[in-house]
Amino acid sequence: MHAFTPPPTPISIRRRTLLVSVLAATAVSALPRIAWSSTAGVLPGETADRQFSVLYKGDRIGAHVVHHFAATGQTRVTTDIDLVVKALFFTVYAFSHHSEEIWQDGRLMSLSSRTMEHGETIDVEGVAVPHGFRVVSRAGPYLAARGALTSNSLWTPAVLQQDTLIDAQYGGVIGVSVSKLADEQIVLAGQPLRTARYRFITPYIAGSIWYDDGGRWVQGEFERDGAQIHYRLDA
C-alpha cells in the first residue's frame, strides 16, 4: 500500500464520535437492557461469503472478509476486518476485528469476537439461552432477542428488517435504522448489476448498503468521522 495522505483532521474512526442521525441516537438512548424483537430464521449459505476491499479516497486501507463453513448440522460464520491508515511512514490508525458465529436451524447459537482499536482489546462472548441470546463484554451482560442478528450480519438482507442488533465488536445491544433509498444499477466487475440501495444507521456507522436481486451484499459506503469509506466487492 502506498503512502496515505492524511486529511485536515486525522482519521481516528473512533467508535464514540461517529456521525449518526438524531433518530439513531434517540433510539439507542431509549433502548432497554432487554431488547425483544422477532426475526425469521436465517441460515447462512454461499451468499454469506463476501470479500471487500475497504477504500478511502481511492486508497485501499484494508479488507472486510466473511466466510461460512457448514458441518454437522451447524454453520460457522467468520468475519475478519483489518484496516490500516498510514501517513508517510507512520500508522495513524489501525483496526482489526475477528469474530466467529455458530448458527443452527436459522438461529444464532454462539458468538466470540476480539476487536483491537487504539491499543485496546475488546472481547465479546455470547450464547443462546432459553429466552434469548446472552451477550457479555466489559460493558456487562445483555439479553438480546431469541432471533437476534449481529452487527456483522450484513451478509443477509434480513438485517434490514431489524430494529436492534447484537454489537459483535463492542458488546451489548444497539439500535438500527434502515430505509430504502432507490433501485440502482451499479457496475460490478465491468458488468451492470441491478441492486437496491438502503440507508443504514447505527450509533457507530451511517451510510448506504447495496444488495442485488439475489439478496447478496455487493457494495457499501459508510461515514466515519466525516470520512467516506467505500466497500468494493472483490469476491
| pLDDT at residue 208, as a whole number | 97
Higher pLDDT, 89 or 149: 149
Helix H, strand E, coil C: the string for the chain is CCCCCCCCCCCCCCHHHCCCCHHHHHHHHCCCCECCCCCCCCCCCHHHCEEEEEEECCEEEEEEEEEEEEECCEEEEEEEEEEEEEECCEEEEEEEEEEEEEEECCEEEEEEEEEEECCEEEEEEEEEECCEEEEEECCEEEEECCCCCECCHHHCHHHHHCCEEECCCCCCEEECEEEEEEEEEEEECCEEEEEEEEEEECCCCEEEEEEECCCCEEEEEEEECCEEEEEEECC
Q: What single-letter amino acid sits at 113? A: S
The whole-model pTM stands at 0.81
pLDDT digits (tens, 9 = 90+) for 183-226: 999 999 889 999 999 999 999 889 999 999 999 999 999 986 66
| pLDDT at residue 41, as a whole number | 58
